[in-house]
Amino acid sequence: MATQDITLRYLTTTKIGEKGQLTIPKEFREDLDLGAGAPFAVLRLGNGLILLPEQRRFEDLCNQISEILVGAGVSTGALLDALPEARERVFERQYGKKSFSARAKAPRRKTRVPRG
């Protein structure tokens, strides 16, 4: 894997092919350890695009999260215990309702059906 160099520099020019594909020169693919089908995040910055290999982005994000949690003294067990509630909050914020699993776990109210 390439060393983590944050210096911005011009690398090369490439063209978009007929099917919208970009070619990344071999030396850069090898330096970044990118194989065929490697996923990229495409970010728009004003009139420009930033292509970021997903694996590196994911690894960087994991490292940042790990450092924050270790620094805060959060144990693996505490983190795992908090996940179900966090999932429910995200689901409710996204969809405006509780998930099926949350509704299934909720205590049921007894309702009387009038018999006639």
**Which region among 30-39, 58-67, 107-116 has the lowest average model confidence (pLDDT)?**
107-116
Q: Is residue 87, in this structure, part of any structural domain at all?
A: yes
State the pLDDT at residue 113: 60
Average pLDDT over residues 15-39: 88
Specify the higher pLDDT residue, 1 or 89: 89
Q: Is residue 94, in this structure, part of any structural domain at all?
A: yes
Q: Is residue 26, in this structure, part of any structural domain at all?
A: no
Q: Give every CB contact of residue 25 below 8 A, 6+ residues apart in sequence.
A: 11, 12, 14
Burial 47-79 (b: 16+ CB within 10 A, else e): eeeeeebeebeeeeeeeeeeeeeeeeeeeeeee
- Res. 93: pLDDT tops 70: yes
Q: Is residue 82, in this structure, part of any structural domain at all?
A: yes
Domain that holds residue 88: 58-105
pLDDT, averaged across the chain:
80
Q: Give every CB contact of residue 32 below 8 A, 6+ residues apart in sequence.
A: 1, 2, 53, 56
Q: Is residue 83, in this structure, part of any structural domain at all?
A: yes
Q: Is residue 93, in this structure, part of any structural domain at all?
A: yes
- Res. 1: pLDDT tops 50: no
Q: Are 44 and 51 in contact (CB under 8 A)?
A: no
* Cα separation, 14 vs 31, whole angstroms: 17
Q: Is residue 78, in this structure, part of any structural domain at all?
A: yes
pLDDT digits (tens, 9 = 90+) for 38-83: 888 888 888 888 888 877 777 787 888 888 988 999 888 888 888 8
For the chain, what is the domain count? 1
